């Protein structure tokens, strides 16, 4: 009971990381790809939209990690042993992305030109989601022993690509909304990118379905509703983008991406690492599970008003 509860909290925290933190990484990807006369303006918009909330967005990852090793310590052990390579690259990306972002924003050029840190920020932003996607493939296939080999695995390349495309898509949709408020000239650019991102992400998701490893496809029935919602939300996002209703598009885009994660979780439940560990075999002692679950729920309830306040204050336009 508590074990499944903790698993749900982990999935929710990962979803929050994906749709909030993921969009921050996606912003970096568009920074990397910015071109044309307005490239500098695009980068400025991206930087501003990441500003106040990136730390808060980042902590969802920490929460998911901590809940994992509290509730399912052996899963953590297996990840540490088997997924070290993609995780290490993701970590380098996380460190460089975060540091480069503040160095660029606050450095005033004291530690090398801002555009240099801007480059570092952009490249690191693209590496991280890709590597996390690759690590996810390790959990879904149970191919943990392959070490660096996972980097060359075609299925892992697809999941990495899907993570990359989804975050870029999310960022583009959110940036449409921000641009509509503060830099209307940039709206068409990000709108085009959002549409393109949606199509690429959708195509990758479709390409994944037939190549699902055994273990995932047995329970595809359970995942079906989520896949359906994801597809519907994706289509709705396209329509909303087309009609320039960016506020609503943000919500449908986030839903489309988060439901992919939920569908995956549903398909492999109760396995946490396919072929290795399940919710029961990996869980900590009952007293620990109860205490962890209670703290997780209480903490989230306690902090919810603060989080909502943060988003409310920064959704108002600057006075």
Partner 1 sequence: MLPEARAETAVSLAFHICFAVFGVGLPWLMLYVEDRAIRTGDPVWMGLARKWARAFAVLFAVGAVSGTVLSFEFGLLWPAFLGTYGGVLSLPFTLEAFAFLAEAVFLGLYLYGWKRLRPRTHWWTGVPVAIAGTFSALFIVTANAWMNVPTGIKERNGKVVSAEPLAPLTGPNAAPESLHMLIAALMCTGGVVASIYAIGMLRGRRDSYHRRGFAVGLVAVLVCAPLQLVIGDWSARVVEAKQPAKFAALEGLGHSQTHAPVTIGGYYDAKSGKLVDGLRIPDGLSILGHFNPSAKIRGLNVAAPQNRTPFITQVHLSFDLMVGVGTALIGLSALVALVAIRDRRRLGVWRLRHGKWWLRAAALTGPGAMAAMLAGWMVTELGRQPWIVYGRMRVSQAVTSSTDVGWWLGGTILLYCALAVALILILRRMATGGPVTTQPQPELVKVS
Q: Which residues sit at the interface with ligand HEM, rule CB under 6 A? A: 55, 58-59, 62
Give the range of 66-74, 188-196, 207-215, 260-268 binding partner 1 by CB under 8 A.
66-74
CB 135 within 8 A of CB 151: no
Question: Cα separations (Å) of 6 from 59, 291, 302?
Answer: 17, 10, 17
- Site for partner 1 (CB under 8 A): which residue of 23, 34, 67, 274? 67
Q: Residues 35 to 64: which contact partner 1 by CB under 8 A? A: 40-41, 43-44, 47-48, 51-53, 55-56, 58-59, 61-63
Q: Is the separation of the CB atoms in 141 and 273 below 8 Å?
A: no
User: Of 171 and 204, which has the nearer Cβ to partner 1?
Assistant: 171
Sign of the Cα torsion 263, 267, 270, 274 reads: negative
Contact between 1 and partner 1 by CB under 8 A: the answer reads no
Which residue in 27, 28, 71, 86 binds partner 1 (CB under 8 A)? 71
Number of residues interacting with partner 1: please give it, by CB under 8 A.
Answer: 75
Task: Identify what 105 binds: ligand HEM, partner 1, none; CB under 5 to 8 Å per kind.
Answer: partner 1
Distance CA 54, CA 317 (A): 18
As a whole number of angstroms, the distance between CA 189 and CA 186 comes to 5
For the four alpha carbons of 161, 254, 58 and 24, in that order, the dihedral sign comes to positive
Measured from the CB of residue 82, what is the shortest distance to partner 1 in angstroms?
9
Per-residue tokens: 108: 């005033």
Considering beta carbons, is residue 62 or 209 the nearer one to partner 1?
Answer: 62
């Amino acid at each position: 009971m508590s074990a499944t509860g903790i698993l749900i909290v982990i999935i929710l925290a990962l979803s929050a990381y994906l749709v909030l933190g993921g969009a921050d990484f996606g912003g970096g990807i568009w920074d990397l790809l910015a071109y044309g006369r307005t490239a500098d303006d695009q980068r400025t918009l991206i930087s501003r939209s990441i500003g106040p909330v990136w730390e808060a967005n980042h902590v969802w990852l920490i929460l998911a990690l901590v809940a994992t090793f509290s509730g399912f310590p052996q899963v953590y052990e297996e990840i540490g042993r088997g997924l070290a390579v993609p995780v290490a690259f993701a970590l380098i990306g996380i460190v460089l992305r975060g540091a480069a972002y503040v160095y660029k924003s606050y450095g005033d050029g004291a530690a090398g030109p801002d555009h240099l840190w801007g480059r570092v920020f952009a490249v690191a932003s693209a590496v991280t989601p890709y590597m996390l996607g690759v690590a996810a493939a390790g959990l879904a296939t149970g191919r943990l022993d392959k070490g660096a080999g996972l980097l060359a695995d075609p299925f892992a390349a697809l999941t990495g690509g899907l993570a990359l495309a989804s975050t870029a898509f999310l960022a583009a949709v959110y940036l449409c909304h921000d641009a509509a408020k503060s830099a209307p000239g940039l709206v068409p650019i990000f709108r085009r990118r959002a549409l393109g991102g949606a199509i690429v992400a959708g195509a990758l998701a479709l390409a994944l379905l037939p190549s699902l490893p055994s273990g995932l496809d047995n329970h595809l029935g359970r995942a079906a509703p989520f896949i359906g919602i994801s597809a519907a939300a994706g289509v709705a996002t396209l329509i909303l983008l087309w009609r320039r209703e960016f506020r609503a598009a943000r919500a449908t885009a986030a839903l489309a991406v988060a439901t992919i994660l939920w569908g995956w979780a549903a398909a492999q439940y109760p396995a946490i690492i396919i072929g290795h560990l399940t919710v029961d075999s990996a869980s900590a002692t009952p007293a620990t599970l109860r205490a962890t679950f209670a703290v997780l729920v209480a903490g989230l309830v306690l902090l919810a008003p603060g989080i909502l306040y943060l988003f409310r204050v920064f959704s108002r336009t600057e006075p």
